[in-house]
């Protein structure tokens, strides 16, 4: 089974640059306090690390 991470949106994309909004959408997040379970890949980690003020990693599974 592949390793996964659970990511939660903790910040609003209002008044943020367009690239940060698109990164949230790319992660499958678009509303506050939503969570997604994503595969733990370098590309997903890079997206999460580019917007640490908007998302947090809740749990690492696998």
Average pLDDT of the segment spanning 32-47: 97
Kindly tell me if the per-residue pLDDT of 32 is higher than 80. yes
Kindly tell me if the per-residue pLDDT of 1 is higher than 70. no
pLDDT digits (tens, 9 = 90+) for 2-31: 899 999 999 999 999 999 999 999 999 999
The distance from CA 53 to its chain's CA centroid, rounded to whole angstroms, is 10
Mean pLDDT of the chain: 97
Structure-block tokens of residue 27: 């992660």
pLDDT at 62: 87
Q: What are phi and psi of 45, to 5 degrees?
A: -60, -40
Domains assigned to the chain = 4-61 (3.30.1390.20)
pLDDT at 12: 97
Question: Are 23 and 47 spatial neighbours (Cβ–Cβ below 8 Å)?
Answer: yes
Closest CA to 5 of 30, 29, 39, 35: 39
Q: What are phi and psi of 15, to 5 degrees?
A: 60, 30
């Amino acid at each position: 089974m592949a390793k996964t991470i659970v990511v939660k949106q903790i910040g609003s994309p209002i008044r943020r640059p367009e690239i940060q909004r698109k990164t949230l959408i790319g992660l499958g997040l678009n509303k506050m306090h939503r969570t997604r379970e994503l595969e733990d890949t370098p590309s997903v980690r890079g997206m999460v690390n580019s917007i640490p003020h908007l998302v947090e990693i809740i749990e690492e599974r696998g």
